[in-house]
Amino acid sequence: MIRTRAELETLEAARLAPYAQLSSQSAGRENSEPPHPVRLEFERDRARIIHSQAFRRLEYKTQVFLNGTGDHFRTRLTHTMEVASISRTIARGLGLNEDLTEAIALAHDLGHPPFGHSGEETLDVLMKNHGGFDHNAQSLRIVEVIEQKYPKFAGLNLTWEVREGLQKHARFHQAPKGGAKNPSPSLEAQIANLADEITYYSHDLDDGLDAGLITVEQLSALDAWTESHAHVRQYFPKLKGKELAAYVIRCLIDRQVQDVISASATAITKAKVETVADVRQQPKPLIRYSETLRRANAKLRKFLYANLYFHEQVAGLNHRACDLLARVFDAYLDDPRQLGKTTAKRLDRDGLHRTVCDFVAGMTDRYLIKEHERFFGTGL
């Protein structure tokens, strides 16, 4: 038996909540395309993102620890996959569109430059007088302009709903076809946003412990950690060391996910939303933590910045890498011929600085280091 797209759309509408974003009700694509005979619209988006060059490059981009410094540390790709997994779980628990949520999650970090947030800050400084740099805006730019997969248009021609979800920190979200802006995006976009937070809270703790930069003793002052730790000790009193820490983090993730599903369901019911349009008119996101967990996570975030992200072994190496990034950026400005033919085609349209910025932002950590060696004869 072959299920057609129309049959799949009927099944989707029957199983999802009335305020879920249905594939059949998508606002469509910038460039019109015929519907696929056996695939839903957001399924197609997910596949386009996974098959993109920008997605493949995430494997060699820094999450927290510089890519290549450890076999088990997260990369931007493994982070993205974890965000997608958590996003699907929350979406399913709330009766929302898993395909849309996952597509947004898979694309949310496509615009991240080499060397993590340090690289982003460096590019923003370098582009200060030329529009600045933000990885969320760059993710949108990649799927709309930079990726070249189709003969008739630039970008991946994703649906409006996925592109809406990539406007992560937008004050208002543009409606399709020039309509009025909305205070909130879809619930699916809100899930991908919060799942990103849940993911880096947990895996940054995991990587920090694995690297020996933070200790279990330090975490004992954090409510987010102690509650999960106590739960694990109750059922597995003999666990210790890395095995104990790993299972506590697993339980921490599970607690966060269940809390978001419960708190969000309550918020949705209280807001009395009945349609996707109702969701977009909400003044505040409906996907949220409980107040107790929100406060606990705020303390956890503060701890991670003080003890991991700004730790000399992390920040020091990343800052040295960013010095390389700045020198390579300037080298391309001085000699745009080094950009290559494909990138050079965008010079007239986008200008020198934005074209160089796009090129450098798309690099993996290791490729940028190799380019620095090519230009200046030295690596990291």
> Residue 192: its pLDDT value, please?
97
Mapping DSSP to helix (H, G, I), strand (E, B) and coil, where does residue 374 land? Answer: helix
pLDDT band of residue 341 (cuts 50, 70, 90) is confident
User: How far is Cα 255 from Cα 224, in angstroms, rounded to an integer?
Assistant: 9
Closest CA to 364 of 332, 331, 325: 325
Mean pLDDT of the chain: 92
pLDDT band of residue 176 (cuts 50, 70, 90) is low
**DSSP-assigned letter for residue 337:** G
Tell me the pLDDT tens digit for each residue of 266-319: 999 999 999 999 999 999 999 999 999 999 999 999 999 999 888 877 777 888
Residue 369: exposure state from Cβ atoms within 10 A (0-12, 13-18, ≥19): buried
Average confidence (pLDDT) over 325-352: 94
Kindly report the pTM of this predicted structure: 0.94
pLDDT at 81 over 90: yes
| Beta carbons within 8 Å of 198's beta carbon, 6+ residues apart | 86, 253, 256, 257, 260
- Phi and psi at 195, nearest 5°, equal -65, -35
pLDDT band of residue 62 (cuts 50, 70, 90) is confident
Matching residue, tokens 């990587």 = 207
> Residue 151: its pLDDT value, please?
92
Q: Where are the domains of the chain?
A: 5-28+36-315
pLDDT band of residue 177 (cuts 50, 70, 90) is low
> Residue 333: its pLDDT value, please?
97
pLDDT at 7 over 60: yes
> Residue 284: its pLDDT value, please?
95
Q: Do residues 109 and 75 make contact, with C-beta atoms less than 8 angstroms apart?
A: no
> Residue 318: its pLDDT value, please?
80
Tell me the pLDDT tens digit for each residue of 243-252: 999 999 999 9
Q: Do residues 97 and 234 make contact, with C-beta atoms less than 8 angstroms apart?
A: no
Mapping DSSP to helix (H, G, I), strand (E, B) and coil, where does residue 239 land? Answer: coil
> Residue 301: its pLDDT value, please?
93
| Beta carbons within 8 Å of 310's beta carbon, 6+ residues apart | none
| Beta carbons within 8 Å of 284's beta carbon, 6+ residues apart | 184
CATH of 5-28+36-315, one of 1.20.120.1200, 1.10.3210.10, 3.40.1360.10, 2.40.50.140: 1.10.3210.10
> Residue 141: its pLDDT value, please?
96
User: How far is Cα 237 from Cα 61, in angstroms, rounded to an integer?
Assistant: 38
Q: Do residues 48 and 17 make contact, with C-beta atoms less than 8 angstroms apart?
A: no
> How many other C-beta atoms lie within 10 A of the C-beta of residue 254?
14
Tell me the pLDDT tens digit for each residue of 221-265: 999 999 999 999 999 999 999 899 999 999 999 999 999 999 999
Q: Which value, in Å, is the radius of gyration of the alpha carbons in the chain?
A: 22
Q: Where is mean pLDDT largest: 172-176, 182-186, 207-211?
A: 182-186
- The region of weakest confidence among 70-79, 328-337, 345-354 is 70-79
